Amino acid sequence: MMKLAQAVQTVIRVLAVLAILEGPAYAQVCPAVGADTTCGVIITVTKTSNSPCPSQGCASVSFTGQGPYDSIEDTLVGFVNNGNLPISSLVLKSSTTAFGFDGDGICGLDPNTNQPFNPAPPACSFGPTGYEGPGVSFSNISPDATTGTVNFSPPIPPGGTAYFSLEESLTQATACSSVINGSVPKPAGGGTTISAVFTPNLGYTLAQAAKICGFVDWNWQQTITNLPLPNVFRARSNPTTPLSAPPPFNDPPAGGGYTYSPAPDNSYPFYLDRSNGELAGQQTSNTLSFSDTPADFCLPGTQSAAVAAKADANCGGKGKRAPAGSYIAFTTHLAGVNADGTATDVGIGFSWKSTFNGTSGGISVTKNSLPVDPGSGTGSITITAFNGNTSYQYPKGLGVMAINGVATNPASSATSTLLGGGQVLVKASGLAYSRVTRTFNGTVNITNVSNGTIAGPFQIVLDSLTGGVTLANASGSFGGWSYITVPSAGSLAPGQSATVNVNFQNPSNVAINFLPVPYSGSFN
């Protein structure tokens, strides 16, 4: 059955390539070389202008089913220009040493015979490395040989083709999504503690899965999307101002975490601190664990006398609590750790809320590894959404990073960054019903309240959208919730705003509620 599935996948890939290469001009992009009768990988440029690329990128990478032309590891690469301008250069990136040339390029020597490949391209050689095709040269190769520029002279005109070779078996890559999709089971609701475990698929270790996905490690990224006032939570970086959400903020916040912690917590932008052994303590070679037991004694509900007295003293006065029905809401996602220490949220995880109004260790806490104090309060945890699959794509094979020196927007390198309250102010308008479209329509506005320019594109995730309600004009789904891209907002200068329309289908005519969570970057 497995061989049949693999055969079907190969047929699908070949058909996709044939569709790309239809027409006489594309009949033979690559000559036969060694064990290959045609290209193993085909790069197709679909757009060549200085305007932003569409969400699917300006170029695609397809696989023909051909293996390494040397029967070991190297790849014959074809190039097709389906754009509207001549192409003079491509910047390519791989998680393998694709530019680590070692002498067995298409115009080099077959390592099995120590002779030129049979068959070989006509008129070899085309360049000093032996990996070049006609009119092809390489430059700007990174020290780790994973990134380089492919130059075409003369430039490849619209409708034209080229070919060359690269190191490593790029056609046999394992997609990041196949390693992490379904790797985090949905947590159980109820109780006062939530926990989850990430276990990479296919038997990979955490380290192997991280490398396949372009990361150096794994962590969790948690945000607080709803935190009512009054509460006793303060950030170490601003201990005099109570925290609240929306807008959302990272849990724990930047600048050392919360003031209730006896020592600074330098987890940001992650949930588990990498610097003090906390992250390592939640890892085995094959698993990464998560657990949290939040407690907020300023939430409404029945409490023990001792906790009620603490709440009376700290929540604004005797009997003062957050409004009836209040809760703390969270999103917890698996995140990749990039080489520079930044986070890439891959969207796999869950949204949840807690109404527990007791204490843990005698205090109110959000990030918490201690058990709750028995009988201190009431309330529990509810899972509000779960997403098991990622929209993040990383090709162990090949990705196109720039065309003619202009950066692309490839699906293979998508990243996004949560924009917190210190960066943007988010306001959602009221909704008006349209009898024409039968939708409830409104807007979401974001304003840059920071001192610096924030780069786009900007996405608004509608976290905790009321069940049964759908966002009719959604751009996609991220972390289990619909999101919409803010149009015509490449960046926001300080004080600058941008607005996006939201249109909801609401067949049950229920009250529409959601938490708008802003991100910069792309999810696709």
CATH number at residue 441: 2.60.40.290
Residue type, 505: Q
How much is the average pLDDT of 493-518? 91
Q: Domain check: are 136 and 220 in the same one?
A: no
CB 132: neighbour CB atoms within 10 A? 24
How much is the average pLDDT of 445-459? 87
pLDDT at site 77: 95
Determine contact, residues 167/160, Cβ cutoff 8 Å. Answer: no
Segment 102-125, tens digit of pLDDT: 999 999 999 999 999 999 999 999
* Segment among 69-73, 383-387, 479-483, 506-510 with least mean pLDDT: 479-483
How much is the average pLDDT of 187-207? 94
Inside any domain, residue 310: yes
Return d(Cα 75, Cα 8) in angstroms, integer.
22
Closest C-alpha to 150, from 161, 141, 159: 141
Return d(Cα 501, Cα 487) in angstroms, integer.
9
Give me the phi and psi of 97, to 5 degrees please. Answer: -85, 65
Q: Domain check: are 191 and 57 in the same one?
A: no
Return d(Cα 354, Cα 224) in angstroms, integer.
11
pLDDT at site 288: 98
The tokens describing 299, both together, are: 């939430």
Highest mean pLDDT among 277-291, 488-502, 507-521: 277-291
Determine contact, residues 124/198, Cβ cutoff 8 Å. Answer: no
371, with CB counted inside 10 A (0-12, 13-18, 19+), is: exposed
Inside any domain, residue 90: yes
What is the gyration radius of the CA atoms in the chain, in angstroms? 27
Q: What is the DSSP letter of 150?
A: E
Beta-bridge partners for 63: 41
Determine contact, residues 90/403, Cβ cutoff 8 Å. Answer: yes
pLDDT at site 146: 85
How much is the average pLDDT of 155-171? 90
- Computed over every residue of the chain, the mean pLDDT equals 86
CA 298 to chain centre: 34
* Segment among 3-12, 207-216, 231-240, 415-424 with least mean pLDDT: 3-12
Closest C-alpha to 133, from 63, 39, 16: 39
Which among 172, 198, 227 is the end of a domain? 172
Highest mean pLDDT among 210-214, 264-268, 423-427: 264-268
pLDDT at site 398: 74
Determine contact, residues 380/360, Cβ cutoff 8 Å. Answer: no
pLDDT at site 476: 80
Beta-bridge partners for 59: 45
pLDDT at site 7: 37
Which among 124, 146, 172 is the end of a domain? 172
Give me the phi and psi of 509, to 5 degrees please. Answer: 55, 45
CA angle centred on 216, ends 210 and 263, rounded to 5°:
120
Q: Domain check: are 198 and 120 in the same one?
A: no
Above 90 in pLDDT, residue 499? yes
Helix (H) or strand (E) holding 171: none
Above 60 in pLDDT, residue 249? yes
Inside any domain, residue 385: no
* Segment among 144-158, 262-276, 380-394 with least mean pLDDT: 380-394
Q: Domain check: are 122 and 195 in the same one?
A: no
Q: Domain check: are 294 and 206 in the same one?
A: yes
- pLDDT grade, residue 330 (50/70/90)? very high
How much is the average pLDDT of 18-31? 51
Q: Domain check: are 469 and 334 in the same one?
A: no
Closest C-alpha to 367, from 284, 275, 261, 277: 261
Q: Domain check: are 112 and 145 in the same one?
A: yes
Segment 304-318, tens digit of pLDDT: 999 999 999 999 999
**Positive or negative, the Cα torsion across 198, 204, 205, 211?**
negative
Inside any domain, residue 407: no
Q: Domain check: are 353 and 502 in the same one?
A: no
Inside any domain, residue 206: yes
Residues spanned by the domain of 111:
2-172
Q: Domain check: are 137 and 17 in the same one?
A: yes
Closest C-alpha to 422, from 458, 453, 462, 451: 451
Inside any domain, residue 391: no
Instruction: Indicate the Cα dihedral angle 230, 234, 239, 241, nearest 10°.
Output: -40
Above 70 in pLDDT, residue 23? no
Q: Are strands 75-81 and 41-45 parallel, antiparallel or unpaired?
A: parallel
For 89-101, give the DSSP string. Answer: EEEEE-SS-TT--
pLDDT at site 16: 34
Above 70 in pLDDT, residue 26? no
Determine contact, residues 416/464, Cβ cutoff 8 Å. Answer: no
Structural domain count of the chain: 3
Q: Please identify which residue in the block is written with the tokens 């703390």.
A: 328
Q: Please identify which residue in the block is written with the tokens 């008129």.
A: 123
pLDDT at site 394: 67
Q: Domain check: are 250 and 111 in the same one?
A: no
pLDDT at site 21: 38
Q: What is the DSSP letter of 480?
A: T
Q: Domain check: are 357 and 433 in the same one?
A: no
For 149, 152, 390, the CA distances from 84, given in Å and listed in that order, are 21, 16, 32
Q: Domain check: are 33 and 130 in the same one?
A: yes
Return d(Cα 175, Cα 195) in angstroms, integer.
27
Above 90 in pLDDT, residue 156? yes
Strand residues in 19-140 grouped as ranges (E): 41-45, 59-63, 75-81, 87-93, 109-110, 115-116, 136-139
CA 426 to chain centre: 22
Segment 337-364, tens digit of pLDDT: 988 888 888 889 999 999 999 999 999 9
Give the distance between the most distant pair of CA atoms in the chain. 89
Q: What is the DSSP letter of 108?
A: S
Which among 379, 401, 428 is the end of a domain? 379
Beta-bridge partners for 454: 492
Determine contact, residues 506/469, Cβ cutoff 8 Å. Answer: yes
- pLDDT grade, residue 411 (50/70/90)? very low
Inside any domain, residue 404: no
How much is the average pLDDT of 73-77? 92
Residue 247: asked if its preceding bond is cis (omega within 30°), the reply is yes
Inside any domain, residue 399: no
